Amino acid sequence: MFLLSVVVSFFLVFTAATNVSQCPGKSFEGLKENVQLTPCKKLPCRLKKGTNTNITIHFTPDNDMESVKNHVTADLLGIAFPFVGVDGLSVCDKFETENGEKATCPLKAGNTYVYKDAFKVLDIYPSVKVKVHWALQHEGKDIICFEVPVNIE
């Protein structure tokens, strides 16, 4: 299992982390301090259709990684539905170093990276309260994973 190193950075000093939860059976050190969803002032996060939601994740991989993909699902009545337009996409063009410089795959072990992305809350999404499961994965294994309750409006 990959471990998440605690990252203390200028960015985190001036922004509020999102109160996310560990994925079942996983434990990533410093998870809550290293994930931010905007806008998400309190739980459940409100995702308004037709708007963008921004995500920032700080992490340090333990192994070199040739590729990284999103795995994003919504748990509705115990069934995991993929987030259309987000799930399964390569995110190699969405990384920066901790100094704010552009980074791409392959990612190097021991270096700290910041994943930054924005996704549109599509109008086709149902208006519902769900638990979102978000993971960055390399070769099908979680680099980092969290869950957060959301209200799609």
Residue 16 pLDDT grade (very low, low, confident, very high; cuts 50, 70, 90): low
pLDDT band at 147 (very low <50, low <70, confident <90, very high): very high
Mean pLDDT, range 31-59, rounded to an integer: 92
Taking the C-alpha atoms of residue 143 and residue 136, their distance in angstroms, rounded to an integer, is 6
Closest CA to 119 of 82, 66, 65: 82
pLDDT at 150: 94
Tell me the domains of the chain and their CATH numbers: 10-152 (2.60.40.770)
Measured CA to CA, the distance from residue 135 to residue 72 in angstroms comes to: 6
Residue pLDDT, tens place only, 58-117: 999 999 999 999 999 999 888 999 988 889 999 999 999 989 999 999 999 999 999 999
- Nearest to residue 24, comparing CAs of 84, 73, 87, 92? 73
| Closest of 135, 136, 113 to residue 23, by C-alpha | 135
Q: pLDDT tens, 95-110?
A: 999 899 999 999 999 9
